[in-house]
């Protein structure tokens, strides 16, 4: 058995999906996803901790995001963790972590 880069998340989208159409005909979709964990702290208080994830998708998966995933939609995704860097407008190198989505499952009632 080989180890591989695999991420599975269930959460709610935090904004409307942004899409980019390339000259080649390919489509890229990006959206943020909130996941929450609950635990009890040392004082016995229930605490909710929310993490935000940057999702990207291409091709047919991006088209599904574009058509069926509004802000606040509960989804389950499977993909892989990716890292990239870019230079911002001031020439400062920035780093970003994203999850490249391979599969999406629409959940909830919205």
Kindly write down the DSSP assignment for every residue of 32-87, as one continuous string. EEEEEEEEE-TTS-EEEEEEEEEEEEEHHHHHHHHHH--TT-EEEEEEEEEEEEEE
pLDDT digits (tens, 9 = 90+) for 17-45: 999 999 998 999 999 999 999 999 999 99
Give the pLDDT of residue 4: 87
- The model's pTM is 0.84
Q: For the domain 7-106, what is the CATH code?
A: 2.40.50.140
Domain coordinates in residue numbering, the chain: 7-106
Structure tokens at 54: 């940057």
Give the pLDDT of residue 96: 94
Give the pLDDT of residue 3: 73
Phi, psi at 15, each rounded to 5°: -160, 175
């Amino acid at each position: 058995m080989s180890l591989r880069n695999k991420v599975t998340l269930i959460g709610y989208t935090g904004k409307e999906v942004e899409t980019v159409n390339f000259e080649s005909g390919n489509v890229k979709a990006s959206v943020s996803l909130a996941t929450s964990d609950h635990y009890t702290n040392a004082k016995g208080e229930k605490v909710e901790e929310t993490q935000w994830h940057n999702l990207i998708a291409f091709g047919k998966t991006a088209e599904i995001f574009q058509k069926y995933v509004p802000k606040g939609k509960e989804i389950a995704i499977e993909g892989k963790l990716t890292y990239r860097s870019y230079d911002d407008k001031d020439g400062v190198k920035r780093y970003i972590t994203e999850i490249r989505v391979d599969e999406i499952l629409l959940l909830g009632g919205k």
